[in-house]
Amino acid sequence: MLITSRETRRWIIPKGWAENGIEPHVVAAKEAYEEAGVVGKIGTEPIATYRYQKLLPKGRACSFKVQVFSLAVTRQLDNWPERNQRDTCWLTPAEAAMQVEEGGLVRLLLTLAGKSE
């Protein structure tokens, strides 16, 4: 599943910021619910990582490392916190790789596409 970012409307995957005292996979499941309305069983270990550049206020760029967790989605809700702020779409990993702009995410999706063939 891809979602649009709120500001630039680029296609991305749900992700969030680390939260003190909360395991990363729990944060990942929370962000998937808030940003995309998906619920299911989250893996406890990252399946991959990638880096991306984010433009911060005042034009400063910063590099971020993203841990990616698998989520076996059982359903997408009709309503969720950021429903009116983002679009979602379901694609194969290969199709998703063609839609995203972040190089690290493209490589990750192409790797997943190769494993699913």
Q: Where are the domains of the chain?
A: 2-91
CA distance 69 to 83: 22
Tell me the per-residue pLDDT of 51-79, one tens digit each, with 9 for 90 and over. 988 888 888 889 999 999 999 999 999 99
Token pair of 20 as six digits: 């003190």
**The CATH classification of domain 2-91, taken from the options 3.10.50.30, 2.60.120.380, 3.90.79.10, 3.40.190.290:** 3.90.79.10
- pTM equals 0.90
* List of residues 6+ apart from 14 with CB closer than 8 A: 1, 3, 28, 31, 32, 34, 35, 36, 38
| Cα atoms in the 13 Å half-sphere on the side-chain side of 70 | 7
Share of the chain above pLDDT 70, in %: 98
- Confidence grade of residue 117 (pLDDT, cut at 50, 70, 90): low
Q: Hey, which residues does 23 pair with through a beta bridge? A: none
Tell me the per-residue pLDDT of 3-27, one tens digit each, with 9 for 90 and over. 999 989 999 999 988 999 999 999 9
CB atoms within 10 A of CB 115: 9
CA distance 13 to 31: 10
More confident residue, 58 or 111: 111
* List of residues 6+ apart from 84 with CB closer than 8 A: none
